[in-house]
Amino acid sequence: MLLAGCATVYTGVVTITSVVDTGMKAWAEVSAKGMSSAAVDAKVIEVHNKYREACAVAKIALESYKANGDQAAYLQAFAVVKATAADLIQLIAPLINPSKAAKLQTDLSKATKI
């Protein structure tokens, strides 16, 4: 994911990666217990794949930003990653512990660009 490509001080990236990882683990536990439907599971996988694709683009944009200092592409890519992560958490939230879901949403809202 994006974090693997930029283990740096970019706290927004780290926050988003942590939120998504935690959310996906919580969803996997629920799904493994049969507390999710096949349709929801398929949608979670679809949105997670979109998140991973957005991360790949953001990784390239981050490398470019670090090389030339132009933030525009990185900021745009970061916004897409964050929006896709929000879509994923919104999809997972009804399935998991409400306090965990609320924490994930709060943590994601705190993710900053850099």
Residue of 3, 5, 1 whose CA lies nearest to 13: 3
Check residue 13 and give its pLDDT.
Answer: 80
Buried b (16+ CB within 10 A) or exposed e, 30-63: bbeeeebeeebeebbeebbebbeebbeebbebbe
Confidence of residue 113 (pLDDT cuts 50, 70, 90): low
- pLDDT, tens digit (0-9, with 9 covering 90-100), for 4-51: 444 444 677 888 999 999 999 999 999 999 999 999 999 999 999 999
Sequence spans of domains, the chain: 2-109
Rg (C-alpha) for the chain, rounded Å, is 14
3-state secondary structure 44-105: HHHHHHHHHHHHHHHHHHHHHHHHHCCCHHHHHHHHHHHHHHHHHHHHHHHHCCHHHHHHHH
